[in-house]
Each structure stands twice: as structure tokens, then as C-alpha cells.
Structure 1
Amino acid sequence: MTRTDYAWLLPSEMIGPTRGPRLPGDRGSARPRRTVRDWGVDALMFLVAVGIGLVGLAVSERAGNSDGVVFLDTVAGVLACCSLWARRRRPMGIALVLALLSAVAPAVGGAALVALFVVAVHRPFRPVAIVGGLSTVTGAVQPLIRPDPATPLLTGVVASVVLVLLVTGWGMLVRANRQLVVALRERASRAEAEADLRAEQAQRLAREAIAREMHDVLAHRLTLLSVHAGALEFRPDAPAPEVARAAGVIRDSAHEALQDLRMIIGVLRAPGDEGDRPQPTLATLDSLVAESRQAGMAVTLDSSVDDPSAVPASIGRTAYRIAQEGLTNARKHAPGTGSTVEVGGGPGDGLTVEVRNAAPVGEVPKVPGSGQGLIGLAERAALAGGRFEHGPTGDGGFAVRAWLPWTS
């Protein structure tokens, strides 16, 4: 929503053809576009000015003035009413001139009040105070210069001053209401934009979380498929037991990958449901190491955590994913080498996880990778309030390390 969405609230003198709607009190030289509403408002104000002017003209005739004076009052009233059609260009000038004329020509009083109302609606307080003060003075002077025989002098003065104050207050109230509506619509527009931004950020975070989960869950299984399939390709003359063993690993990994994929799809289809399979924790790290050993990796697990089940579920799951990704990378980029998984820490000190592998020996089969796994691990550690780092070791190997908060 933009400022043009509430242009219907404002008369055309507040709307420029190129600048959009101007708030009350703004000025501009752009030629306004007149609408049907503007013509209707102009006609209504003209009729109000004529009606009040006729009352003033009747007062002039009742006071016994000569025909020449009545004629001049009539001409002044007609010119004053006609000048209201130009009030959009020079509201202040017209209001000041009509306020001065109203002191000596009662027929101008209606046009002067209309001009004062227009200034009060479309100008800030200072111009309104100037025109209102002048109108108050002329309204008090007019009964003294052109008294009405049928009305006491004090009554006429009080009535003129009260009428000027009522018109000024009414105009300022209209201006305040318009400004309030504009402010509320702008606030609603900002709130809607902020809500859209929050929804977009939530969707982005959800997509990132899904991408991390799918990568962490499936990359481990698919890497096993890729490594063993590559081994079969490089060694077509391998003994039958080794071929059978590799085929079994490929079959089991494909089956597990399908199960993990079904679990993720089930969670996505049923928000809030964690699926039928339990989420991994630090207590299931032993099974991950056993699975890696079964696939042919030489993995050493060194855990100094007394009770892995006491680790908070979210921290344990993050630690598991870090170890899983570290072993996956070791299997892809340094097959046949030994890997070490170290886990330590305790409540209050935090949980540390480190996965190291030695330098690869000989030719390494090309396994495609995007590097998103390490990025996802860094995001996981940051979301958990911890730290993550990775890099080569002194012996040419590679290591990933993470520290995760573990409150007591």
C-alpha cells in the first residue's frame, strides 16, 4: 500500500499530478487535478457563502442604508463568493482579504467564514492562528461599524466572535481527523509490509532448516552408495565376497535413504509431527560409528561424556549431525584412512565434538560435493548458540570442531 491508496480521503488541492497526495499543510506548485468531489464541495461552499451573505445583505437593508451602499454590499458579496472558486490556489490571501472586507460589508461574511474554514482544514496552526485572529477582530468590529438595529451590540459582537471560533475549531477538527486517517493507513501499510517481511523470513528460515535436514540425513546414505559404487567401478575384478559385501552396503544404504526421505516428507506434510522414527541424539552416536565401521571405515570413538542420555535433545542432535557430516566427508575425500570422533564436556562447560581424519593415500575417487554440508553445520551450531570451525590438520588431514552450550 502506498500514499496514493488513500488519495480518496483528500481533496484535490492536496494532490499533485506527479508527487502523489500531500499531507495537510504541504505546499506545491503542481497543478491539481479537479474531481467530481471537488466540484461538489466547491458548489456546496459557494451556496453556504451565498446563504450567509444574503443574511448579511438583509441586515444592511434593515439598517436603512442607501441604495448605493446596499448595491456596493451586493457587489462585494458576489465578488467574495466568486473568489472562493480560486481558494485552492491562494487560500491564505483570499482568507485575509475577505476577513478585512467582512468588517465593512456584511454580505462578505459568509465567504469570509468559508475561506477561514478552508485555511483551518488545509494549513498548519500558525497560518490558521493568523487568519483566525484577524477574523475574530473583524467579526468584533463589524457590529460596531455596521450595526443591526434588531440585535443588541453586545449580542452581535459575541455572536460574531463565537461563530468565527466555531468555524476555526471545526476546520481544525476536520484536518486532525484526516491526518489521523492518513496516519492510521500508513501505520497499517507499514504493519502489513512488516508482516509480509516476517512471513518471508520465516519461510526462508524454514527452507534453510529443511535443506540442512535433508542434506544431513541423505548425504550420509548417498555417500555410502557413491563410494561403494565407485569402488566397484574401479575394481571390476574384485573378489566375489568383496563385490557381495559392497552390494549389500549399497542395498542397505539405499533402503535407509528411502526411509529417511519418507520420514522427512512425512514431517513436511504434517507440521508439528516429528514422524514415526525418533530423532538422533548423542546416545545414538554409537550406532552411527558402528554403521560407518560396517561400511569399511576405521573409526575410533572417544567419548568422555558420562551419560549421553543426559545431554539436551537439541544439543545432542546437533552434535550427532556434526559427527555424521564429519564422517561423511572423511569417507568421500579420504577413503581408506582412519577417523577419530571425540566427544567431551559436561553441564556448565558445554559439549565439544571433533571429527578428524588422516591424509588420503593414493588416488581418491571423484565424489561430487557442493560444500553445503559445512555451511549447514555452521548454521546449526550458530542456532544452538555454539561455535563451529573446520580446516586442515598438520599431518595433511582434515578436522571439524564444534562447541555447543550445555547448561546445568
Structure 2
Amino acid sequence: MWDVVLFVFSLFVTVLGLANVPGAETATGMTDLGLGVWLIALVAWGTVFLRRRFPWVTLIAGLVVALIGVDYLLFLLGAFHVLVRADARRRVLFGCGTFAVVALWVVRDLTTPWGADVFTLDDGSGVSPTMATVAIAATSLVITAGSVALSVSLRTTAEERRRAEVEHTRATTLGDELARQAERQDLAREIHDGLTNRLALLSMMGGNVTKAVERGDPSAADLARSLQAQSREALGDLRGLVHDLREGPSAQQAPRGTMRAVPALIADARAAGTSVSATVVLDGISTANAALDSAVHRMAQESLTNAMKHAHGAPVSFYLEAAPSSGVRLRVTNP
């Protein structure tokens, strides 16, 4: 729409600008020279439709119109789009060139037969055609420079905003990746500290059941029931891990172990055929924070599992004294 408005406005500007060209108009109307100049200016103004994609075309067409003396408005339009696209160093050079063209146009207008007839303001107000010509040129340059500065500032702001959005997206992606990595680490720890130990216990209990059956030991049924109970607990642990995977990294995962379950760990070790001499003293553990509660359970579980895996059949001495107010002492030994 603005292109059409500019083109229509150019008809009015071109008609006025013909008065600047010597021989273009007479008292009886437009001469052949004036008609030719008008057609050239009209064709040149048609480049306003190309000024965004091909600003240099508009700039050159405007320079032609300025050289034949009609006006320099089209030249300033082309210069505006060229300056906006240029880098800082070239913007200074092109800006100086634009100023020079307008300045030379004003000098020619004031010192040659070109110009001086458009504004006839010697009506006693003190404003002469010379002053009007210089004022219009200065105003035009100031408006062009201000428009360029504003457009460059807006473009820079938009680019900074885009870069900020890209960095924000990159930071969000990195945060998601770190969250996924933390989730994988949590899952690996859960598998190692929980499920792996449980499966090792099942393996040893299965071996004890096999030996008891082979010997005809009447305790084989009890061992099999313990094995079945441990299998259910292992299945529960596996379901808990799958649930954590479905919930995603943002889910708050509650600790799986607690100091209250340490006696059950000892019972499981005994059921697997390991002789465990245990002393467990728990005082005020309801006030223990979740990290401490879980850590003690994990260390007790890992210690018993290692003892059964690497020294199967050797007796184990287990000592745990826990009081959040004074500390935790855990000692697990075998011969």
C-alpha cells in the first residue's frame, strides 16, 4: 500500500520539480523537454516498488532524477534502504555520499538556472527562496538520518531478541539433557544398589533351595517361601523403576530404603544361608532426613550383599548404631 501511495505522491512531486529544470515549462505550458523529463522521472519513480528487494536500483534511479534537476526525494528513499542494509563502516561512507549529492543539488539550485522558482516567498516575511531551499534540504537529510538510525536500532533490537531466544532455547535444551542425564544416573544407582542386590540374594537363595531339596532337608519349603517373597519384592522394585521412568526427570522420587528396613535385610541374608550376628540400635530415627535414612539403608544392603557374594558361607558380624542427634556407626565384618 505504501508503494502505491509513494508512486501517486511522486506525480505531484514531479510536476512541482519540473519548475526546477530550465526550459521544461513556459508561460503557455509544458514543453517537449518538460514532457521528456516528466516521463523519465515517472519511470524512475516506478522503482519505489523495488526499493526493498533492490535498493540500489531505486538509489540509481533517484540519482538520475536529481541530476536532471527535478528533485532528490527518490534518491533519499533509495539511500535510506541502502544505508539500513549496510554495515557500520559502509553506512558512514554512503551517508557522506548522500549528503554530498544533496549539497551539490542545493548549490546548483542556488547558483545556476536550475531551481529558484518553486518557492516564491519574498512576501516580506524574511524567508527567501534560498533559505527555503536550504531548510528543505537540511530537513530532508535530518529525517533520512533519523529514519536510518531508528530502523537500524529496531533491527538490532530484533536481532538481539532473536539471539536471546536462541540462547534461551539452547539453555532449556541443555537443562533438559542434564535432567535426563541425572535421571539415568539415578536409575543406574537404583539398579545397582537395589535391584542388583536383590537379584544376587535371589540367586543365592535359589542355590540354597536346590541344595536343601537335594539333601531332603525339611526346611526346603520354608526356603522356597522366602525365595518367593524375595521374588515379589524384586518385582516391586522393578515396577518402581519403571514408574520412575514414566514419570520423567521432574518427578520427585522418594528414597526406596530406610533404616527401619535394616532388620529385614539381616533376615534376608540369614534366609539366604549366611550366618549374621547382628546388633542394631536405632534411636530417634524418625527425625532423620531422607538422605541420611536412605544412605544408611543402602550401605547396610551393599555390605551384606558383598559379604554373601564374595565370601558365601562365612559368618558376618553386623553392628549398626544410629541416632540422628549424635551420628551413625555402621560396621560389617567377616573373617
State the TM-score, normalized to the length of structure 2. 0.70
SS of residue in 1 equivalent to 2:276 = strand
Cα contact 1:76–1:108 (8 A) shared by 2: no
Q: Tell me how far apart the structure 1 counterparts of residues 12 and 148 of structure 2 sit (CA, whole Å).
A: 19
1:65-100 alpha-carbon deviations (Å, 9 max, x no partner)? 895874785576468557876996783x98489559
Q: Tell me how far apart the structure 2 counterparts of residues 352 and 148 of structure 1 sit (CA, whole Å).
A: 104
Compute the displacement of 1:268 (Å): 7.3
CA 1:268–1:131: 2 relative to 1, 3 Å: closer
The structure 1 residue matched to 2:17, chosen from 56, 62, 74, is 56
CA 1:355–1:57: 2 relative to 1, 3 Å: farther
| Equivalent in the alignment of 1:188 | 165
Structure ID, larger Rg: 2
Compute the displacement of 1:318 (Å): 1.5
Q: Tell me how far apart the structure 2 counterparts of residues 355 and 87 of structure 1 sit (CA, whole Å).
A: 81
Q: Tell me how far apart the structure 1 counterparts of residues 38 and 12 of structure 2 sit (CA, whole Å).
A: 13
Q: What pairs with 1:94-105 in structure 2 (closer than 5 Å)?
A: 95=59, 102=66, 104-105=67-68
SS of residue in 2 equivalent to 1:226 = helix
How many aligned positions are there? 314
Q: What pairs with 1:251-400 in structure 2 (closer than 5 Å)?
A: 251-260=228-237, 274=254, 280-301=257-278, 311-341=288-318, 355=332
Q: Tell me how far apart the structure 2 counterparts of residues 341 and 240 of structure 1 sit (CA, whole Å).
A: 28
Cα contact 1:50–1:111 (8 A) shared by 2: no
Compute the displacement of 1:210 (Å): 3.9
CA 1:105–1:242: 2 relative to 1, 3 Å: same
**One-letter amino acid of the structure 2 residue matched with residue 115 of structure 1:** G
| Equivalent in the alignment of 1:148 | 116
Compute the displacement of 1:158 (Å): 0.8
SS of residue in 1 equivalent to 2:72 = helix
- Structure with greater helix share of residues: 2
Q: Tell me how far apart the structure 2 counterparts of residues 302 and 112 of structure 1 sit (CA, whole Å).
A: 97
2:163 pairs with 1:163: no
Q: Tell me how far apart the structure 2 counterparts of residues 342 and 77 of structure 1 sit (CA, whole Å).
A: 102
SS of residue in 1 equivalent to 2:215 = coil
CA 1:330–1:94: 2 relative to 1, 3 Å: same
**One-letter amino acid of the structure 2 residue matched with residue 117 of structure 1:** F
Cα contact 2:285–2:324 (8 A) shared by 1: no
| Equivalent in the alignment of 1:364 | none
**One-letter amino acid of the structure 2 residue matched with residue 157 of structure 1:** V
2:226 pairs with 1:249: yes
CA 1:269–1:74: 2 relative to 1, 3 Å: closer
Structure 2: gaps (5+ residues): 120-128
Cα contact 1:232–1:238 (8 A) shared by 2: no
Cα contact 1:281–1:316 (8 A) shared by 2: yes
Over the matched positions of the two proteins, sequence identity in percent amounts to: 25
Structure 1: gaps (5+ residues): 1-39, 359-408
Which stretch of the first structure deviates more once superposed, 62-71 or 189-198? Answer: 62-71
CA 1:87–1:311: 2 relative to 1, 3 Å: closer
CA 1:268–1:68: 2 relative to 1, 3 Å: closer
Q: Tell me how far apart the structure 1 counterparts of residues 85 and 312 of structure 2 sit (CA, whole Å).
A: 79
2:132 pairs with 1:132: no
SS of residue in 1 equivalent to 2:115 = coil
1:275-304 alpha-carbon deviations (Å, 9 max, x no partner)? xxx953335434423442343223355779
CA 1:97–1:81: 2 relative to 1, 3 Å: closer
Q: What pairs with 1:220-239 in structure 2 (closer than 5 Å)?
A: 220-233=197-210, 236-239=213-216
Cα contact 2:16–2:118 (8 A) shared by 1: no
Compute the displacement of 1:349 (Å): 10
Compute the displacement of 1:178 (Å): 3.0
Q: Tell me how far apart the structure 1 counterparts of residues 154 and 329 of structure 2 sit (CA, whole Å).
A: 62
Q: What pairs with 1:5-44 in structure 2 (closer than 5 Å)?
A: none
Q: Tell me how far apart the structure 1 counterparts of residues 316 and 186 of structure 2 sit (CA, whole Å).
A: 28
1:137-159 alpha-carbon deviations (Å, 9 max, x no partner)? 44344242433324221012111
CA RMSD of superposed structures (Å): 4.5
CA 1:73–1:285: 2 relative to 1, 3 Å: same
CA 1:263–1:75: 2 relative to 1, 3 Å: closer
CA 1:269–1:352: 2 relative to 1, 3 Å: same
Compute the displacement of 1:166 (Å): 0.9
